[in-house]
Amino acid sequence: MNFAMIGLGRMGGNMVRRLARAGFRLAVHDRSAEARGALARECDVLDCDSVGSLVAGTSPPRVVWLMLPAGAASQEVIDQLLGLLQAGDVIVDGANALYKDSMARAEQAGERGIGYVDAGVSGGVWGLESGYGLMVGGGGEHVRRVEPYLRALAPAPERGWIHCGPVGSGHYAKMIHNGIEYGMMQAYAEGLALLDAKSEFALDVAAIAESWRHGSVIRSWLLDLTAGFLAEDAALEDIAPVVADSGEGRWTAVESIALGVPAPVIGLSLMQRFASQGRGDYANRLLARMRQAFGGHAVTAAGDRSKDPG
């Protein structure tokens, strides 16, 4: 056994399941004993209670794939692995990491003769059945070592995964992928909101979204998902209008500035997420007071949004 997975959350756990279904033998580790135990009972995997026992339970040359949160959590485990792995082993970082961090970690690993592959992973909770979109960066010899697992995880052995280029390129491609995702989501949300707002037509927003799935230029898997949940609950009254943002959207916006390449849709979709989190509230209060100061316009008291001050 020379393959291991660290991080058994929604993505990592299902990736283990897909690999096990394909006949691979794996060692697994997660801080949660419950997550490890449940997976060990379901699949034929070696349950390891520490990073050290995981390395000891596998044979070189190893491939150790990490599906951990980007940042400190990933760095902590990578530091442990660099002190335990042997020359010729390969680390695969499947987090949504900043590509510059991946390049630095690869250099650190290379000093010990350890390979490093950065893997952008897309597919979410649907990846177990449908396969994962995989964008990897790294040296050719290291990616070739990982290729059998990529072929099993992807939607099909010959499609859905790509060796993008050198270390960092996989996470760079995934960063841009997620920036595009921001823009697509925002466009769908704005268009459907305009349909919902046209009260005099009494439009069935769920039915229109469903119709767009068939033959329309804007059909997509994202639209499939949206039409599905709208069919169950088109009003969405129990959902707070707060949209989280993750690092990839911010990094994509910063990269567009650094390269001087205009990306207004992605940038504005990120700004809209900030606004949904209340980060524009102070500026809006200032605007209200400015209008009052120069024109005597009324302002709305905090907590009262029932009146339009005009």
Q: Which of 133, 166, 199 is the last residue of a domain?
A: 166
Q: What is the pLDDT of residue 44?
A: 87
Q: Are residues 158 and 183 in the same domain?
A: no
Number of other residues whose CB lies within 10 A of the CB of residue 219? 14
Residues 69 and 137 in one domain: yes
What are the strands of the beta sheet with 161-165, ordered from one edge? 45-48, 26-29, 3-6, 63-66, 90-93, 115-122, 133-137, 161-165
Work out the angle between the directed axes of helices 10-21 and 33-42 (0-180°, nearest 10). 20
Both 268 and 182 in one domain: the answer is: yes
- 181 tagged catalytic: yes
Task: Taking residues 91-95, report their average pLDDT.
Answer: 97
Q: Examine the fold and report which residue of 145, 166, 187 is the final residue of a domain before the chain moves on.
A: 166
Residue 301 in any domain: the answer is: no
Domain that holds residue 267: 175-292
**Catalytic one of 34, 42, 181, 237:** 181
Rounded to whole angstroms, the Cα distance separating 117 from 168 reads 8
Percentage of the chain modeled with pLDDT above 70: 98
pLDDT in tens, 173-228: 999 999 999 999 999 999 999 999 999 999 999 999 999 999 999 999 999 999 99
Pair 63, 114: CB distance under 8 Å: no
Against a cut of 0.75, is the pTM above it? yes
Asked whether the predicted pLDDT for residue 1 surpasses 90, the reply is no
- % of the chain beyond a pLDDT of 90: 94
- CATH number at 258 reads 1.10.1040.10
In a domain, 41, yes or no: yes
Average pLDDT over residues 35-44: 91
Residue type, 211: S
Look at residue 306 and tell me if it is in a domain: no
Domain count, the chain: 2
222-264 pLDDT, tens per residue? 999 999 999 999 999 999 999 999 889 999 999 999 999 999 9
Q: Which of 42, 111, 141, 174 is catalytic?
A: 174
Catalytic site includes residue 198: no
The predicted pLDDT at position 307 comes to 53
141 plus 186 within the same structural domain: no
Whether residues 37 and 98 fall in one domain: yes
**Do both 198 and 153 map to the same domain?**
no
Do 142 and 186 belong together in one domain? no
Mean pLDDT of the chain: 95
Residue 133 sits in the same domain as residue 55: yes
What pLDDT was estimated at residue 308? 52
Residue 94 within a domain: yes
